[in-house]
Amino acid sequence: MKSDLVREVGQEVAEWQDAVQAFDEAAARHLGTNLTDLRCLGAVFREGRATAGRLAQVAGITAGAITAALDRLERLGYVRRVRDTVDRRQVHVELTEEATRRFEEIWGPLAAESQAALHRLTNRDLMLFRDLLRHNRAIQQAHTARVAGLPARHAAKAESPGGPSKAGEPAGQPSKAGEPAGQPSKAGEPAGRPRTGQRAG
C-alpha cells in the first residue's frame, strides 16, 4: 500500500541522515575541526571563493561565528584570506591546497560512488529526485525558521571549538522519520561532502 511505502521512505531518509551525521563526525575528527567549522569549510568548498558575509549566509551562522570559524580554519591551514585585486577593502576566503587534498581523500571515493548511482537512474527518475529534494529543502527551511523563533527552554551547551562532537553525538535533536535535516547537497555530490547540515530528504 502507498502508506506503507511512504513510511518505508521516511524510515530510510531518517537512517540515511544518521549515516551522514556519522560521516560528518568522522570527517571532522580527521580534519581536527568541530562540526560548525566543518560546515563553514563546506560553504567555502561550494562557493569556491567568497566573502565572510556570504559564507555566513550559506552556512547559516552569524557574522561573529563565521569570523571565529575562519580564524580556526586558517590556523589549521585549510583556508586563506585574500584581498581583492580591485577593491583592497574586500577580502575573499578560499581553500588551500592542503584542504583540497584532504577533501579528495575523504570525499572523493564517496562522490565517485554517489555519481555512479545517480547515472544508473533514468532522466525521469533524476528529475523526480531533484524536485523532491528541492521541495523538502523548502519545507525544512520554513520549519527551521519556525523552530528558531520558539523560546529556548535552557541555554544551549556550546560546541567546543577545539574539536568535533564524539562519535554518535549528533549536533542537535534527530529528525523524525521522513523529515529531511538541513539543505541537500548539489546534485551528484555525496550528502556528507564537507558541510554538515546539508541533508537531502
**For the domain that residue 57 is a member of, what is the CATH number?**
1.10.10.10
The predicted pLDDT at position 158 comes to 53
The predicted pLDDT at position 197 comes to 45
- Residue 43 domain-assigned (yes or no): yes
- Residue 156 domain-assigned (yes or no): no
The predicted pLDDT at position 23 comes to 97
Nearest alpha carbon to residue 186 among 114, 103, 117, 101: 114
- Residue 186 domain-assigned (yes or no): no
Question: And the C-alpha cell for 93?
Answer: 576566503
The predicted pLDDT at position 179 comes to 40
- Residue 173 domain-assigned (yes or no): no
The predicted pLDDT at position 153 comes to 85
- Residue 112 domain-assigned (yes or no): yes
> Is 112 exposed, middle or buried (CB count within 10 Å of its CB: 0-12, 13-18, 19+)?
exposed
- Residue 161 domain-assigned (yes or no): no
Q: How many domains does the chain have?
A: 1
Residue 81 domain boundaries: 7-148
The predicted pLDDT at position 156 comes to 57
Question: And the C-alpha cell for 174?
Answer: 534527530
Per-residue pLDDT of the chain (201 residues; tens, 9 = 90+): 899 999 999 999 999 999 999 999 999 999 999 999 999 999 999 998 899 999 999 998 899 999 999 999 999 999 999 988 888 788 999 999 999 999 999 999 999 999 999 999 999 999 999 999 999 999 999 999 999 999 988 765 555 544 444 433 434 444 444 443 333 344 334 444 554 444 444
- Residue 193 domain-assigned (yes or no): no
pTM of the model: 0.71
The predicted pLDDT at position 60 comes to 87
The predicted pLDDT at position 2 comes to 92
The predicted pLDDT at position 86 comes to 81
**What is d(CA 199, CA 17) in angstroms, rounded to the nearest whole number?**
7
DSSP state of 175: P
The predicted pLDDT at position 89 comes to 82
- DSSP per position, 68-86: HHHHHHHHTTSEEEEE-SS
- Residue 194 domain-assigned (yes or no): no
The predicted pLDDT at position 159 comes to 54
Q: 10: Cβ–Cβ under 8 A, 6 or more apart, which residues?
A: 176, 177, 178, 179
Instruction: Give me the residues paired with residue 82 across strands.
Output: 92
